[in-house]
Structure 1
Amino acid sequence: MKHAVRWLVSLVFVIQIYVAMLVLGLVFAPYALVSRNGALMACKTYCRWVLWTARWMVGIRTEIRGAVPVDEVMIAAKHQSFLDILMIFNAAPRAKFIMKRELLWTPIIGMYAKRLGCVPVNRGKRGAAIAKMVQDVAAEFQEPGQLVIYSQGTRVAPGAHKPYKIGTAVLYEGLNQTCVPAATNVGVFWPRKGIMRKPGLAVVEFLDPIQPGVRKKLFMEDLETRVEAKSNELMREAGFDPDGISQQS
């Protein structure tokens, strides 16, 4: 019975966040179309709404740890669910994301992604996609902001293993900018798929930056080692064993 009630509340929560996306997207659309600041305000408002309703509706509290990047840097983050996107965007002053091209055609999301300066990537053409991504990112950095890239290229469930993609290192080298790794445990509470949301403390932690100039191979090894180790630590703190033994009640 308790499980059924939690699932039902989770369903109501999921429905209302998409309704809120539609309502806020339409309300802010005129401002967003003429100003990037309008798009930024709309998305910040939406993030705060979702994080607030997550707390009192499904019991998910959120916490940002570490020094939040405010300069023009690249954030290389662990990606477990929609929640880490919301948390990073809400925390960073002007975050913009490397995103799959298909999202450009999604109602509301596509328009705001363009206005924020997000960079779409065609996953089907790896070499060409990386070259185009570097070119597009360089153009977008004419506008201030923090570029967020998910180094594994997709959402990865807690405890699952997926290799880090070389595109992160190519961008790091091409932009010659500081990279801030980011770890998380949000997938323990807000899964990448499904309705159920579990109560607890969801954390995104910004780690010590990697300065420009590190060779690509060493950069990737350092990035993966630190992000995975810290994410595993955060998941264990949340009561989930990333090695396969869950302690979550």
Structure 2
Amino acid sequence: MTPLQRFRALLFSVQMYPMMFIIGLMFAPWAIFSKKGARTCCKTYSRWIFWTARWMVGIRCEVRGTPPEGEVLIAAKHQSFLDIMMIFTALPTAKFIMKKEILRTPVIGQYAKLLDCVAVDRGKRGAAIEKMVRDVDAGRQEAGQLIIYAQGTRVKPGVKADYKVGTGVLYEQLQQTCVPVATNVGVMWPRKGITRHPGVAVVEFLDPIEPGMNRKEFMKTLEQRVEERSDELMREAGFEPNGLHQ
């Protein structure tokens, strides 16, 4: 990166967090009493980030494929904070399965609660999966799209990480269509630090996986579709995945 690019990336990162507080406070009176208000707040902030990312650091955000509108399971690849915002903004009534520590994060945690996101303890794998299923069942009053990151965490481009069994458990339990999501956003927006690289950041909704597969077959199909398409998207962005294991 040139010194100018580093400076612009710094300015972009610096403005992100005050704007999160400002927009969160602006929408709070509506969001406290309405999930629509909470969703509108989060999408407004996301669109602010997309706009500033484009002209400040040269990142253009693009959603491909067909975002689902009904009650489905979304199993996505996760590379940075950017794909969270892009997937959420593309869906009408989305909520995330997330680690419970996020609920203590200012603004993000409060809005996650308002949107009925499902918090799990990743340190207790079996109990976390059981609680995940119970919370999902208990929160089905409002139809929507339940988003789970199939590898359980952000994964650096080019690194191979295992797909977690929790996604397969949910697929079996919910008996819903699963829509895989591939991405290349980590090439432009790394999972750590303030470095930002210009390019086209893509999240792509892939062909749905219908209910009825056994867990092993489902997990194999999911991983193959997401990894192959994510690798293609990363190559499109000028990055060659090296297949290293995390």
TM-score band by shorter chain is: over 0.9
Q: Which residue of 2 aligns with 1:10?
A: 9
Amino acid at match of 1:12: L
Normalised by the size of structure 1, how large is the TM-score? 0.96
Amino acid at match of 1:95: A
Q: Which residue of 1 aligns with 2:105?
A: 106
Aligned mates of 2:123, 2:193 — CA distance in 1: 26
Amino acid at match of 1:76: A
Q: Any unmatched runs of 5+ in structure 1?
A: 245-249
Q: Which residue of 2 aligns with 1:247?
A: none
Q: Which residue of 2 aligns with 1:64?
A: 63
Aligned mates of 2:184, 2:104 — CA distance in 1: 29
Amino acid at match of 1:75: I
CA RMSD of aligned residues (A): 0.9
Aligned mates of 1:65, 1:38 — CA distance in 2: 26
Pair 1:30-2:29 in alignment: yes
Amino acid at match of 1:170: V
Q: Which residue of 2 aligns with 1:199?
A: 198
1:27-48 deviation line (CA, Å, top 9, x unaligned): 1111111111110110010111
Aligned mates of 1:11, 1:138 — CA distance in 2: 42
SS of residue paired to 1:141: coil
Residue 220 (structure 1) shift: 0.1
Residue 15 (structure 1) shift: 1.2
Q: Which residue of 2 aligns with 1:213?
A: 212
Pair 1:176-2:175 in alignment: yes
Q: Any unmatched runs of 5+ in structure 2?
A: none
SS of residue paired to 1:34: coil
Residue 128 (structure 1) shift: 0.9
Q: Which residue of 2 aligns with 1:165?
A: 164
Q: Which residue of 1 aligns with 2:72?
A: 73
Aligned mates of 2:21, 2:203 — CA distance in 1: 26
Q: Greater shift after overlay, 7-16 or 173-182?
A: 7-16
Aligned mates of 1:103, 1:21 — CA distance in 2: 15
Structure 1 residues 21-170: aligned runs within 5 Å? 21-170=20-169
Q: Which residue of 2 aligns with 1:237?
A: 236
Residue 182 (structure 1) shift: 0.3
Residue 82 (structure 1) shift: 0.4
Aligned mates of 1:109, 1:210 — CA distance in 2: 30
Aligned mates of 1:156, 1:71 — CA distance in 2: 28
1:100-139 deviation line (CA, Å, top 9, x unaligned): 1001111111110011111001011111110010000111
Residue 5 (structure 1) shift: 1.6
Aligned mates of 2:126, 2:117 — CA distance in 1: 20
Q: Greater shift after overlay, 139-148 or 183-192?
A: 139-148
SS of residue paired to 2:160: coil
How many pairs does the alignment contain?
243
1:153-185 deviation line (CA, Å, top 9, x unaligned): 000000011100000000000000000000000
- Aligned-pair identity (%): 65
Amino acid at match of 1:239: G
Amino acid at match of 2:79: Q
Normalised by the size of structure 2, how large is the TM-score? 0.97
Aligned mates of 1:50, 1:145 — CA distance in 2: 24
